[in-house]
Chains A and B, each alone.
Chain A
Amino acid sequence: MNLKYGKEDEAFREEVRAFLRDKLPHDVARRTKTGMHPPNEDDRRWWNRVLFEKGWSAPLWPKEYGGPGWTHLQAHIFEYECRMAGAPELRWQGLRLIGPVLYTFGTPEQKARYLPAILKGDEMWAQGFSEPGAGSDLASLKTSAVLDGDHYVINGQKLWTTEGHYSEQGFFLVRTDNTGKSQRGISMIVFPMDTPGVTVRQIPMINGEGSTCEVFLDNVRVPRENLIGAVNAGWDQAKFLLSNERTSSAEIYKAFSDLARIRHIAEHELKNGRPIIQDPVFARKLAELEIDVNALEWSVLRVLCEAPSNYPIAANASVLKVRGSELQQRLTELAVEALGQRSLRMYRRDEAYAPPAVNPLWPDYTPGVATDLLYLRACTIFGGAKEVQKNIIAKLAFGL
């Protein structure tokens, strides 16, 4: 075994750092680090374009579709450095979710039409999977797609469509067959969000913002060539897509940047006249979290480096999701604790993104700390609830 990064990996890390120093302006990094949800959309589109011009916008895509040809370990280094520097996180929906589905299952026409715009960040994608009554239990979804000549006519409602209100394209799971096993009658289809019959409504969330939406589909007519792969093959495509999501769902990069944020706050907030980071109780909590984050990082590294395991890899991916999401919540809780009562102020996006006025009562690290905590109540629910992940582990690892 060799448990070290190689010389070429360290050189690569330096290359990424130099690029970030050169290209990432302070104000963009500052806005990103507030932790507001969703992140600043203009910053994110702009950064996507910057990365595209460098050939770095899709770290894990194969070279033939525009990826940089990195190893998994290099992509890991890249993501880590970007997050620590405060680079905007690119939207998953296109780059990590539908992109791989398109180049794996799509027709040559679909690849040519959609992939370049995803790479450049010209088109953002919305995910239409969940429904009222079909959250983690996707097989019970009801939105129907009925063939009418050369078009599918789609009717139904989708829920929890993150940032649907400004996405150009959407990928949807729809029911194309009502007979037989419910998983076997599902297909994946894509269409622009401004197609007639599509209505998007933002849902106000407990963090005070509406980053997620409900989408109403009322006799939406979509050309049949927009179906991805074969009819009724949507379940396998969705499983493929979700397995990609669950590998990234450890959110290890955010965990590290959260630790840095907690440290920063705790070095500046006083308790009994001393920085709270010197308080033994607080220091112990921070130490416990650091240990847990380090353990999670090595779990990610084991998956990335295809370490041998006695269990199916999907069980390990579910561990990343369970522990990663729990840690996200604990980290934001400790950030709020470090900030103390001042964290109780409600910040809106405009206020948080505005250049900071020098005000010793409300330091620059205040906005977004509680917002992040409130938003992340959802992280043990979205992408397959924690309880469902535990069922998956029990089934895959132990055959229960």
Chain B
Amino acid sequence: MDFNLSDEQRMLVDGAQRYIRERYSLDAKRAAAKTEEGFSREHWEKFAELGWLAMGIPEDCGGMGGSPVDIALLMEQLGAGLVAEPVLDTAILAGTLLAQASGSQRAIDLLGDIAAGEKIVVLAHMERAGRSEYDTPVSARAKRSGEGWQLSGIKHRVWHGASADCLLITVRLGETNEIGVLAVDRNAPGVDLTVYEMLDGTHAADIRFDAVELDSSALILRGPAVDDALAVAFDHTVLAMTSSAIGSMDAVMAMTGEYLKTRVQYGQPLAKFQALQHRMSEMFVETDQARSIVYRALAALESGDAQERATAVSSAKSLVARACRFVTGHGIQLHGAIGTTEEYAVGHHYRAMLMYDYRFGDATYHLERSAGLLPRIA
């Protein structure tokens, strides 16, 4: 075993760190969060130039074919920087899903567009009755309409929905009721969005599809393959998000440690108080264990076994959700009141932790899934 980075990986990490340090200050992020999209198109174009959006996309579809480890290393840096752009939703989630629709020319085209930063593509999957992406029952319907399809239904909490050029929608198909995935132009007639802001500044949307007419090429995946493709896409996304949470925890520890050295109370720096030293040590232990379980999940992903992958990814999510809650919560606590303000990054990491915890299944869900207690529903 060797945990050292390759030269290419070292360059990737250094480049991402430099970008975050020099160009992605909290002030810039906050300014971007106040715009209509909640992120910056300028950064998005830069990310494409740097190859970050192509990282997880297969080489024969215009991507770089990076490994899950490469993606984890990149996401860790983006998490430390609280990156607001839809890297996770487009490059990882939509990218992984599209990469499994190998028979569809439309999917291949979209993958190329994502890799080049030319299109934002997001998944519209959640519905009212579902608690998470893994267990939402799909009731949106597409019925036959000539050679194509006519789509109706409501999708809930579509992250970056209004910014997307293309939506990937899970549906029930025609008479057979089998599940399918449709690629829909966001501006197509009959697509109606209600946009709102989420806790981390992301803009999401509830989307109503009212008899949207689609040609036959819109159907990129159908049948039992959809469940498998979604499970793979969700697991890869969870692991990328988990790596991002590790970066967030590291950033919180770094800023908290610095703060304790500068803040004077009772005539001495806070860093001199043993109770606070112990708290920092506890945060260190949690973060260290979190990183280890991510390595384990990355190893499981390479095994190619679906059950092993699911168990390992869910173990990582449940452990890291708990650890991240501890670390970001105590990050605020150790900063004192200043940590509860909008101006300081530590509270933004706490909000990012909440997003992490509740997207793609919460800690309880993944605990049960890792224990094999759940029926398998994509």
CB distance from A137 to the nearest CB of B (A): 4
The residue among A203, A276, A373 with the most chain B CB atoms within 10 A of its own CB is A203
**Given A273-B129, A336-B354, A345-B199, 9 further pairs, Cβ under 8 A:** A203-B342, A206-B342, A206-B348, A341-B132, A341-B359, A344-B198, A370-B199, A370-B354, A374-B350
Q: How far is A390 from B196 in the complex, measured between Cα atoms in Å?
A: 42
Q: Which residue of A130, A206, A382 is within 8 Å of B341 (Cβ)?
A: A206
Residue contact A345 to B336, C-beta cutoff 8 Å: no
Residue contact A381 to B197, C-beta cutoff 8 Å: no
With an 8 A cutoff between CB atoms, is A108 at the interface? no
Q: How far is A336 from B199 in the complex, measured between Cα atoms in Å?
A: 12
Residue interface bits A128-139, CB-to-B below 8 A is 1, else 0? 001001011100
25 CB-based A-B contacts, threshold 8 Å:
A136-B336, A140-B267, A203-B343, A204-B343, A206-B350, A206-B351, A270-B131, A276-B131, A282-B364, A337-B362, A340-B131, A344-B355, A346-B196, A346-B199, A361-B156, A373-B354, A374-B199, A377-B339, A377-B340, A377-B347, A378-B337, A380-B333, A385-B336, A387-B275, A391-B275
With an 8 A cutoff between CB atoms, is B285 at the interface? no
Report if A377-B332 is in contact (Cβ < 8 Å); known contacts: A206-B341, A346-B199. yes
With an 8 A cutoff between CB atoms, is B126 at the interface? yes
> Using a CB–CB distance below 8 Å, which chain B residues touch chain A?
126, 128-129, 131-132, 135, 137, 154, 156-157, 196-201, 204, 206, 264-267, 273, 275-276, 325, 329, 332-333, 336-337, 339-343, 347-348, 350-351, 354-355, 358-359, 362, 364, 367-368
Q: Which residue of A159, A337, A344 is within 8 Å of B364 (Cβ)?
A: A337
Q: How many A-B residue pairs have CB under 8 A?
A: 119
Q: How far is A336 from B350 in the complex, measured between Cα atoms in Å?
A: 14
Q: How far is A386 from B199 in the complex, measured between Cα atoms in Å?
A: 26
Residue of A with least CB distance to B203: A346
Q: How far is A46 from B154 in the complex, measured between Cα atoms in Å?
A: 42
Kindly list chain A residues whose C-beta atoms are within 8 Å of the C-beta of B264: 133
Report if A346-B131 is in contact (Cβ < 8 Å); known contacts: A206-B351, A361-B206. no
CB distance from A343 to the nearest CB of B (A): 7
Kindly list chain B residues whose C-beta atoms are within 8 Å of the C-beta of A361: 128, 154, 156, 206
CB distance from A351 to the nearest CB of B (A): 9
Q: Name A321-342 residues within 8 Å CB distance of B.
A: 329, 333, 336-337, 340-342
CB distance from A376 to the nearest CB of B (A): 9
Q: Which residue of A204, A272, A281, A381 is within 8 Å of B336 (Cβ)?
A: A381
Q: How far is A364 from B272 in the complex, measured between Cα atoms in Å?
A: 48
Residue contact A341 to B358, C-beta cutoff 8 Å: yes
Shortest 4 CB-CB contacts between residues of A and residues of B: A206-B347, A204-B342, A137-B265, A378-B340
Residue contact B342 to A269, C-beta cutoff 8 Å: no
Q: Name A379-395 residues within 8 Å CB distance of B.
A: 380-382, 385-387, 390-391
Q: Which residue of B265, B350, B351 is within 8 Å of A136 (Cβ)?
A: B265
> Using a CB–CB distance below 8 Å, which chain A residues touch chain B?
130, 133, 135-137, 140, 159-160, 203-206, 208, 269-273, 276, 281-282, 329, 333, 336-337, 340-346, 360-361, 370, 373-374, 377-378, 380-382, 385-387, 390-391
Q: How far is A391 from B351 in the complex, measured between Cα atoms in Å?
A: 30
Q: How far is A245 from B208 in the complex, measured between Cα atoms in Å?
A: 50
Residue contact B362 to A340, C-beta cutoff 8 Å: yes
Residue contact B199 to A281, C-beta cutoff 8 Å: no
CB distance from B265 to the nearest CB of A (A): 4
Q: How far is A370 from B329 in the complex, measured between Cα atoms in Å?
A: 14
Q: How far is A251 from B340 in the complex, measured between Cα atoms in Å?
A: 20
Residue of B with least CB distance to A343: B358
